[in-house]
């Protein structure tokens, strides 16, 4: 039995996930280069802060852009 579950995300959420993944990737590169102490708590905090901040900020900017585009396209 095959379940075909597709979750449709709006554009700002897709952008947020992309930038969060980019932030986490850059953090992992920093960990690999030795810029973060190698204890689990430091690594988790670095990953959450980078992924979270990049994700939230990019989501907010994308949401504002989509909302402003919808406002421009609405007739007076």
Which pLDDT score is estimated for 5? 64
Q: How far apart are CA 13 and CA 34, in angstroms?
A: 31
Percent of the chain residues topping a pLDDT of 90: 71
pLDDT score at 32: 94
Helix locations, 1-76, DSSP H: 11-32, 40-73
Q: Please name the residues in contact with 47: beta carbons below 8 A apart, sequence gap of 6 or more.
A: 24, 27, 28
Q: Using an 8 Å Cβ cutoff, are 48 and 20 in contact?
A: no
Contact 23, 53 (CB under 8 A): yes
pLDDT reported for residue 53: 96
Whether the model clears a pTM of 0.85, i.e. scores above it, the answer is no
Largest CA distance in the chain: 58
Label residue 70 by pLDDT band (50, 70, 90).
Answer: confident
Q: Span 5-12, mean pLDDT?
A: 80
pLDDT in tens, 45-68: 999 999 999 999 999 999 999 998
């Amino acid at each position: 039995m095959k379940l075909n579950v597709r979750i449709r995300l709006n554009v700002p959420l897709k952008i947020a996930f992309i930038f969060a993944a980019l932030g986490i990737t850059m953090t992992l590169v920093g960990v690999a280069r030795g810029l973060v102490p190698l204890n689990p708590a430091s690594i988790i905090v670095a990953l959450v802060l980078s992924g979270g901040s990049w994700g939230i900020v990019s989501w907010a900017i994308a949401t504002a852009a989509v909302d402003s585009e919808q406002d421009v396209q609405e007739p007076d």
